[in-house]
A and B are shown apart, each in its own frame.
Chain A
Amino acid sequence: MSAPDPLAGRSRAAAWFATFAAYVVPLGFILAPMTLFLAYSFFSVDHGDIVFSPTLANYVRFFTDPVFQPIFWRTCLLCLSVAVLCVVFAYPVALFLTGLKGRQRHAVLVLLLVPLLMSYVIKIYAVRSILGGNGLLNRTLMALGLIDEPSMLFVFNLNAVLLTLTVLLIPFAILPIFLSLETIPKALRHASADLGASDLQTFLRVTLPLSLPGVASAMSFVFVLAIGDFLTPQMVGGQSGFTFGRIIYSQFGTAFNWPFGAALSVILAAAVICAIALGGWAGTRRQTQ
């Protein structure tokens, strides 16, 4: 119930614009493409032309063809390993961060988050330059006398994808764990100490269990980012580092089977939704206990 409007024409234009922004852009440029994409997964291809009649053939092919499922599960396992590795590195950092105060804490937090906004492609390139046959890692190992010639264990295979993704995604795991550690009341730790628990006991029985929601969301975060990534496996994966994202891309590029590629993407989206739901569920379940 506002005062009468002296500039009714103008405000109507503003209201019209707000409605336009609210509906046309999200519905026209996000929902429409996504829906069309979903619809495409039920189409098929005949001699390079897309047949616009609904069929489940693409999904049947994914579940019956012996090629695609193993790559899908292998990619899931890879991304789960990345998530576990990221948490292993991120947890101590987050714990260290909660011990800091004021300006120090802010500085370390910013330094840990700055790499998030650094160019992703460049970071992949940088990590590859270290892992490569002629890279820093190999040269260091050779200088230390641990190996005699450049090892190809760390480049153009799944190990390389695993290591690169872990290095790139650690910052994404630090933040949720740090936030959940922050919400634990100090009084609980003090109470534990007053009751005679050692620091290690307090950590294992109080801090760690209460921070598990943060660990769960960190893991789902990292998993989602890793499974959706295409650039890293393409850049460091080589022939044996074939992941699900690369299969999808190849369906649009070399194979030119867009409907099948769309169906594979829908399966990828389903995996992403499962991971987000699982992370959210694990988080809330812990909190209610």
Chain B
Amino acid sequence: MTAPTTAHATPVRPARRVLESPMKRIGTALLVAVTGLVFVLLYGPLLVPITSSFFTVSHGAVDWSQPTADAYAALTRNESVLAALRTTLIVGVSAVVLSVVIATGLALYVASPEAKGRRFLQFVIFLPFLMPPIITGLALLIFFREINFERSILTVIIGHTVFVLALVYRTILVRLQSLSGSLVEASYDLGASRWQTFRLVLLPNLRGAMAGGAILAFALSFDETMITLLVTGTQSTLPVRLWAMMRLGFTPDINALVTLVLLFTTALCLVAVRFVAPVQAAAGGD
């Protein structure tokens, strides 16, 4: 069926292409132009703080005459920024570990035949992801106040875990469901216990998804501002610190900090894309 169609189409189409080529060319040019414009819109703004981080600023004006790394040197002496960086890393790592462990348990539970209230549980997990962060943050704020839980780094960790859980869960569940059920059955048939099956069969297969989910979760946690702003005590994370600094105005060390954070999140993001989309990455790498 297909062969005659293509055979028939081949002589017709080149002729039409000649006829319509100016219009088609205008169309393609338009698409390229808009795509280019979007790239400028997405990346252009980021170039401003990056370039100005290498120059000195006095009275709001940038001195373009000679580049300097002064802003970066000042950053290494800025105690509040270093403290914020420490807090961010502690919160990120804790939230990632917690969310990967909980999401794995959750995915195993939901995938098991004896699970009850599966749809409802999924709905609850996805709530913080669907709702604007301001609602999640305020809900947690009220909750912590009502149960007399002092706001601290611990409340920030809980907030971040709740926020990233859905993403990690989803990543792991998709992988789990793509695993063949016979793999687990074979493990049981060969006399393995549930724990052995988990450790020797499921875990190695889920490792990639867990790593991908963990990186994504860390990237999200590293950037999370709204929830943190609401549930934090005295310690601020890097985005919250940046938020506070930016509202005061432009200084070179903000630009230096912005540049470093951007470099870090971009690297993180590229690694995450590699892990989460291994199929496409493999196709692109060939």
A and B interact: yes
Chain B residues whose C-beta falls within 8 Å of the C-beta of A252 in the assembled complex: 138, 141, 230
Find out whether the CB atom of A265 lies under 8 angstroms from the CB atom of B20. no
Central interface residue in A2, A107, A123, A261, by most chain B CB within 10 Å: A2
Contact call B134/A228, Cβ cutoff below 8 A = yes
CB within 8 A of A136: which of B43, B48, B239? B48
* Inter-subunit contact B193/A11 (CB<8 Å): yes
- Per-residue CB contact flags for chain A residues 219-258 toward chain B (1 = under 8 Å, else 0) read 0000011011111000100000000010011001000001
* Complex contact B132–A268 (CB within 8 A): yes
Partner of B124, one of A31, A95, A200: A31
Q: Is A67 an interface residue (CB 8 A)?
A: no
User: Contact: A130 with B48, CB < 8 Å?
Assistant: yes
Within 1-25 of A, Cβ neighbours of B (below 8 Å) are at 2-3, 5-8, 10-11, 14-15, 17-23, 25
Query: How far is it, in angstroms, between the C-alpha of A95 and the C-alpha of B125 when the chains are bound?
Result: 34
Q: How far is the CA of A33 from the CA of B273 in the complex (A)?
A: 33
* Interface range for A: 35 or more
Most B Cβ at <10 Å: residue of A37, A123, A262: A37
Query: Given known contacts A130-B45, A199-B20, is B134 in contact with A14 (CB within 8 Å)?
Result: no
Is chain A's binding surface mostly helix, strand, loop or mixed?
helix
Closest to B216 in A: A117
Chain B proximity mask over A121-158: 1 for CB below 8 Å, otherwise 0: 11101110110001010000000000000000000000
A66 interface residue per 8 A CB criterion: no
CA distance A234 to B121 in the complex (A): 34
Determine if B133 and A26 form an interchain contact, defined as CB atoms under 8 angstroms apart: no
Does B280 lie within 8 Å of A115, measured CB to CB?
A: no
Our pick among A111, A119, A228 for the contact of B135 (Cβ within 8 Å) is: A228
Q: How far is the CA of A262 from the CA of B266 in the complex (A)?
A: 36
Residue A190 interfacial (CB < 8 Å): yes
Decide: A170 near B158, CB < 8 A? Known: A22-B105, A117-B223, A230-B134.
no
Task: Report the number of A-B residue pairs with Cβ-Cβ less than 8 Å.
Answer: 262
Q: Is A179 interfacial (CB-CB < 8 Å)?
A: no
Stretch from B68-76, B89-97, B205-213, B242-250 that touches the partner:
B242-250
B14-31 interface (Cβ within 8 A of A): 16, 20, 23-24, 27-28, 30-31
Contact B194 A15 (CB under 8 A): yes
Contact A249 B134 (CB under 8 A): yes
In the bound complex, residues from chain A placing their C-beta under 8 Å from that of B32 are 96
Whether B102 and A121, one on each chain, are in contact in the complex, defined by CB atoms closer than 8 angstroms, is no
In the assembled complex, the CB of A167 is this many whole angstroms from the nearest CB of chain B, namely 5
Instruction: Say whether B284 contacts A106, CB under 8 Å.
Output: yes
User: Does A194 reach chain B (CB closer than 8 Å)?
Assistant: yes
Interface flag for B143 (CB, 8 Å):
yes
CB neighbours (8 Å) of A190 from chain B are 9
Closest CB-CB distance, B269 to chain A, in whole Å? 4
Does A258 lie within 8 Å of B105, measured CB to CB? no
Chain A residues in 8 Å Cβ range of B195: 7, 10-11, 14
Distance in angstroms from B37 CB to nearest chain A CB is 7
Contact with A along B27-51 (1 / 0, CB 8 A): 1101110110111011111101100
Kindly state the separation between the CA atoms of A227 and B138 in the bound complex, as whole angstroms: 16
Do A119 and B42 touch (CB < 8 A)?
A: no
User: Among the listed B131, B193, B272, which residue makes an inter-chain contact with A6, where contact means beta carbons less than 8 Å apart?
Assistant: B193
- Among the listed B41, B109, B191, which residue makes an inter-chain contact with A3, where contact means beta carbons less than 8 Å apart? B191
Choose one: B34, B142, B188, B225; the contact of A89 (CB below 8 Å).
Answer: B34
User: Bound complex: CA of A93 vs CA of B33, how far in Å?
Assistant: 9
Q: Mark A30-43, 1 if CB is under 8 A from B, else 0.
A: 11111011001000
Which single member of A2, A17, A36, A116 contacts B143 (CB below 8 Å)?
A36
Closest to A1 in B: B188
Cross-chain contact A2 with B188 (CB below 8 angstroms):
yes
Main secondary structure of the interface of B (DSSP, over half): helix
Decide: A167 near B27, CB < 8 A? Known: A37-B142, A228-B131, A228-B132: no
Interface residues of B in 96-138 (CB under 8 A from A): 101-106, 108-110, 112, 115, 121, 124-125, 127-128, 130-135, 138
Query: In the complex the two chains form, is A121's CB within 8 Å of B48's CB?
Result: no
Question: Contact mask A53-76 → B, CB, 8 Å, 1/0?
Answer: 000000000000000000000000
Q: Which of A14, A25, A122 has a CB less than 8 Å from the CB of B49?
A: A122
Q: Does A269 contact B (CB under 8 A)?
A: yes
Partner of A122, one of B128, B130, B262, B286: B262
Which of chain B's residues have a CB closer than 8 A to the CB of A96?
A: 31-32, 34-35
- Whether B153 is near chain A, meaning CB under 8 Å from some CB there, is no
Q: B47 CB to closest chain A CB, in angstroms?
A: 8
- Interface-central residue, B34, B161, B285, by most chain A CB under 10 Å: B34
B269 cross-chain contacts in A, Cβ below 8 A = 113-114, 116-118
Contact of A262 (CB < 8 Å), options: B106, B142, B250: B142
B108 interface neighbour in A10, A18, A265, Cβ under 8 Å: A18
Least CB distance from B28 to A in Å reads 8
Q: A22-B110, A193-B13, A248-B134 are known contacts; what are 10 more A-B pairs with Cβ within 8 Å?
A: A2-B185, A6-B193, A8-B193, A10-B193, A109-B280, A118-B269, A123-B46, A200-B23, A224-B132, A229-B132
Listed from nearest, the 4 A-B pairs whose CB atoms lie closest are A228-B132, A21-B105, A106-B284, A33-B143
